[in-house]
Amino acid sequence: MKRVGLVTGAASGIGAAIAKALAEDGVTVMITDINEDAGRQMASDIGGAFVAADLSKQGDCKKAIDETAKVFGQLDILINNAGFQHIDPIPDFPEDQWDKLIAVMLTAPFLLTKYGWNYLIKSEQGRIVNLSSVHGVVASPFKVGYISAKHGQLGLTRTAALEGGEHGLTVNAVCPAYVRTPLVENQIADQARTRGISPEDVEQLVMLEPAAIKKLLDPTDIANYVVFLCSKAAWGITGSVQVIDLGWTAK
């Protein structure tokens, strides 16, 4: 029987790359995103389906799971990828942005896991992959909401892995360093303007300064690893933090 996967935030960037890679691996993919036009187009491109959802809302988290089950009758793979960043020092960090960051990047993965749990257990080879970040392992200044949410995802990952293990459900977190996505490209451009340096210098001297390999990751690098974690070959990997950080945390 063909497996079914739900990928959040899959209209672009890492989520889109994961959705494509899973589809190429034979998985039927339900895409959810707040961007309806891009999400529907991506679903059409990979022969999947789309459900519009604002994952900062509890009801929309449930809708994403319910719609997947309604359309396909099953759920075998859950990829919690949706997220965004807000950059400000702690004294200036807006409270509403804190609430939204935590809602989208920590509460939503919990709710999607909760609502999808029985389907994933029934699968007997269920897979959950939480897209965390190297900033789920280490911290940097001015990203308090993002970093707090990403650290929290690791606790969710480990707890769900312990509860799901007896049912064959694996739960893992992937923690990449900077990936060349539209979001990161915008960050590079913004920092180049504010620092008065070239985009190339932002990459090499700022973003890649802690890394051993001085090259931004590509979304397909993350997608290929996620596909492996969703495979039968990865049945014994659970509760793990898979760091793809170019050597950032090796020091």
Domains observed in the chain: 4-176+218-239 (3.40.50.720), 178-216 (no CATH)
Q: What is the mean pLDDT of residues 100-122?
A: 98
3-state SS of the chain is CCCEEEEECCCCHHHHHHHHHHHHCCCEEEEEECCHHHHHHHHHHHCCEEEECCCCCHHHHHHHHHHHHHHHCCCCEEEECCCCCCCECHHHCCHHHHHHHHHHHHHHHHHHHHHHHHHHHHHCCCEEEEECCHHHCCCCCCEHHHHHHHHHHHHHHHHHHHHHHHHCCEEEEEEECCECCHHHHHHHHHHHHHHCCCHHHHHHHHHCCCCCCCCCECHHHHHHHHHHHCCHHHCCCCCCEEEECCCHHHC
pLDDT at 129: 98
pLDDT at 187: 87
Over the chain, what is the mean pLDDT? 96
pLDDT at 182: 87
Region for 134 from its dihedrals, namely left if φ exceeds 0, alpha if ψ lies in -120 to 50, beta otherwise: alpha
Retrieve residue 166's tokens: 């007896």
Treating both helix axes as pointing N-terminal to C-terminal, what angle do 144-164 and 95-102 enclose, rounded to 10 degrees?
Answer: 20
Other C-beta atoms lying within 10 Å of the C-beta of residue 134: 21
pLDDT at 227: 98
d(CA 18, CA 34): 17
Q: What is the pLDDT of residues 174-230, one digit of tens each?
A: 999 999 998 899 889 988 898 999 999 999 999 999 999 999 999 999 999 999 999
pLDDT at 1: 73
Q: What is the mean pLDDT of residues 141-167?
A: 97
Q: Could you give the residue numbers annotated as active site?
A: 146
pLDDT at 183: 84
pTM: 0.96
Q: What is the pLDDT of residues 40-96, one digit of tens each?
A: 999 999 999 999 999 999 999 999 999 999 999 999 999 999 999 888 999 999 999
